[in-house]
Structure 1
Amino acid sequence: MHAATASSNARITGLVTGHPTEKGAKFGALYNVPKNSIYTYETFDRLKDNPAVDAVYIALPNSMHCEFTIRAAEAGKHVLCEKPMAISSAECRRMIEACRHANVKLMIGYRTHYDATFRKLRELVRSGAFGEIQSYHGGFYGMRNKQQWRLDRSLAGGGSLLDLGIYPLNTVRWFTGEEPESYRGLVATRDKSGAYASVEQSIDWMVKFPSGVLASGGSSYGQSGTNFLAINGTIGHLRLEPAFVYGDVILKYTGTSGDADLSGTGPVYDPDQFVSEATHFADCVLHNRQPSTPGEEGLADLLAIEAIYAAAGNPIA
């Protein structure tokens, strides 16, 4: 919510919570939201009668994205939905169609698309600074125990791939501007506690793009690890590490282009990527523009994720 309050063109005018007398009252007072603009999940549809609310930000468990995106669209509200967009490509298509039918914007919260470091690196790739790109390698490995619903397939839709692995997957799709044509996948769950009974703990995947570019990635829960992105071209290379975390972290990259040293850090003057994301979404709503990360972007990721799971033998089916 800090992103909306810190942006130049958005503010919080309504809240939805399962605890209206506790959390609703607390955050309503914090953001100056009147009581009649605090809703529950049961009264959510009454948003249609509130002209002070133009759009809805959906950051619920993955399995609820589809339902509440469609309900928001039917209430005439634009939608910013967190990634992963949904738990299946079929749900993604339903969300896209509902927003199209209601003539509202649908944007997926791929925050790295609004980060200056990632935009700079993508421009370097597209400029030919590394020559012809041969391969990408990315990974997001780490512990995520604060949100236990992520280990429940009925809520999360999958394991570390949907939560963490989607970052390197989406990045290589974005950088190449292509969609994979072939897939490989391997899954392993070494934890014997039963915590990962319905979702995968670790997954590694490889895809091939029509241009011939290869990309590999991986993600894992329940271990110490890092997150990185490596780019390899015919005349240069680059590695960004850390790559996909946020907060009080400066992204650092090392690399070369021919004889030139391209090493550097993310610009400390760049606005918070969440603020940039919120500002972009509000701008699209205010000026009737297409979001940089529309529903179709989320759909493409889910299609790739489903293909990776299939290549791994549908480990969570």
Structure 2
Amino acid sequence: MMGTGSIAAEHMVAAIRSVGHAPLWVVSRNREYARFFSEDLDIPKTSVEARQALSDPLVNFVYISAVRERRKHYISTAAKAGKHILCDGPIAASSRVASTLTQQCKDTGVTLMVNQPARASTIHQTMRRLLAEGEIGTLQSLLIIRGAPFQPSPNRRTDEVTERGDIHLDITAEDIDLARFLTGQEPLEVSTLPVEATDADVDQVSYAIGMSGGALFQAYESFAIAEIESVVMLAGDHGTLIAHGTLNGKGSGTLIRRLNGRNELIPVRERDQHFATLEGFLATFQRQAKWMCRGDDNVIALRTVEAIAAASRKRRTVTV
């Protein structure tokens, strides 16, 4: 465990144990944080030096939950040690750094996966399958809407200040990755309202992306409104799939298929997204888990985020 973030504390330690593994080390640049985390979650060893933990022959893989600025160091150090990596996304603040880290992992034969819970959602996986099976015809558009008042994580340390711009980078990268995952299409061109997508003073972002298969992806992300139920919609020429509440972090949500003027609730078995992510990550050591987010996927998402920022700054359409 590298870093002592809230996702690790609330979800990933339990998920690691539930898939039959045991967390052995907590690594943090702050010795006191590491000690508190290990005591609270019953993890036997702590260190402020990543190499000490990575030299333990019992360590098979690394989960990184550190703040974004520290992920580069931990990924690079783990790659040099030959340890497989699961890291919270995005893995870096820029596509250039993310690309370098991804290539380093490839060069050392290390698996680099990104923790993207939206991909692990059974509802989103069902939407992807139904689209591929032609249940709504040819995809015409994808819509993602999400919003809530800005609130830093309650478990953040006092020296880890969360700005709105930081959140927007994370959320936009996640939405772009989800769009690619659902559609199998790549972002080509970006247009946006004239606001800077990663500016800490900006509370809401709206953008449109032309995708490689001809679909139009539109997104609205806001931290300036009362909380709304998130919407993920795939609209085809024969029908529509609509997911409600899958991006609110408060449950699995619901999935509706609209055909011939009628709404049909599609029952989907709820599954813990963090457990599913860990299970998929471990499966990649033996076979390819195609639904998982890899380092290359995160690079593409970050390049698209940068294109959104450029489109806002230049007030014109930008090619990804």
What TM-score bracket applies, with the shorter chain setting the length?
A: 0.7 to 0.9
The offset of 1:282, in angstroms, is 2.1
8 Å Cα contact 2:27/2:53 also seen in 1:
no
Show the 5 A alignment for 1:1-317: 1-7=13-19, 9-21=20-32, 23-34=33-44, 37-40=45-48, 43-147=49-153, 149-151=161-163, 156=166, 159-160=167-168, 162-188=169-195, 198=200, 200-226=202-228, 227-247=230-250, 249-258=251-260, 261-267=263-269, 270-285=270-285, 287=286, 289=288, 292-313=292-313
Listed one character per residue, the Cα deviations across residues 55-98 of structure 1 (whole Å, up to 9, x for unaligned) are 11112222322222112212222111111221111011111111
8 Å Cα contact 1:66/1:94 also seen in 2:
no
Distance 1:232 1:58, change over 3 A: same
Distance 1:171 1:289, change over 3 A: closer
Partners in 1 of 2:308 and 2:217 — Cα distance? 12
What secondary structure is seen at the aligned counterpart in 1 of 2:187? coil
Distance 1:10 1:187, change over 3 A: farther
The offset of 1:188, in angstroms, is 4.5
Q: Percent identity?
A: 19
What secondary structure is seen at the aligned counterpart in 1 of 2:82? coil
What secondary structure is seen at the aligned counterpart in 1 of 2:313? coil
Normalising by structure 1, what TM-score? 0.84
Distance 1:198 1:114, change over 3 A: closer
Partners in 2 of 1:125 and 1:197 — Cα distance? 35
Distance 1:152 1:176, change over 3 A: closer
The offset of 1:308, in angstroms, is 1.1
8 Å Cα contact 2:192/2:206 also seen in 1:
yes
Match of 1:192 in 2: none
Question: Aligned AA for 1:256?
Answer: R
8 Å Cα contact 1:80/1:109 also seen in 2:
yes
Question: Aligned AA for 2:244?
Answer: E
Distance 1:77 1:144, change over 3 A: farther
Question: Aligned AA for 2:78?
Answer: A
Partners in 1 of 2:145 and 2:152 — Cα distance? 21
Partners in 2 of 1:260 and 1:198 — Cα distance? 42
Partners in 2 of 1:88 and 1:144 — Cα distance? 23
8 Å Cα contact 1:140/1:164 also seen in 2:
no
Question: Aligned AA for 1:33?
Answer: I
RMSD of aligned C-alpha atoms? Answer: 2.5
Question: Aligned AA for 2:188?
Answer: E
**How many pairs were matched up?**
294
What secondary structure is seen at the aligned counterpart in 1 of 2:149? coil
Partners in 1 of 2:134 and 2:241 — Cα distance? 13
Partners in 2 of 1:135 and 1:102 — Cα distance? 39
The offset of 1:46, in angstroms, is 1.9
8 Å Cα contact 2:150/2:164 also seen in 1:
no
What secondary structure is seen at the aligned counterpart in 1 of 2:151? coil
Listed one character per residue, the Cα deviations across residues 118-161 of structure 1 (whole Å, up to 9, x for unaligned) are 111111111111111111111221124224633176xx3xx52x
Listed one character per residue, the Cα deviations across residues 212-236 of structure 1 (whole Å, up to 9, x for unaligned) are 2111002122421322111211111
Partners in 1 of 2:289 and 2:233 — Cα distance? 30
Match of 1:193 in 2: none
Listed one character per residue, the Cα deviations across residues 164-198 of structure 1 (whole Å, up to 9, x for unaligned) are 23333222211221211111012549xxxxxx974
Question: Aligned AA for 1:245?
Answer: N
Question: Aligned AA for 2:117?
Answer: R
8 Å Cα contact 2:79/2:108 also seen in 1:
yes
What secondary structure is seen at the aligned counterpart in 2 of 1:60? coil
8 Å Cα contact 2:190/2:208 also seen in 1:
yes
Partners in 2 of 1:289 and 1:129 — Cα distance? 26
Distance 1:109 1:10, change over 3 A: same
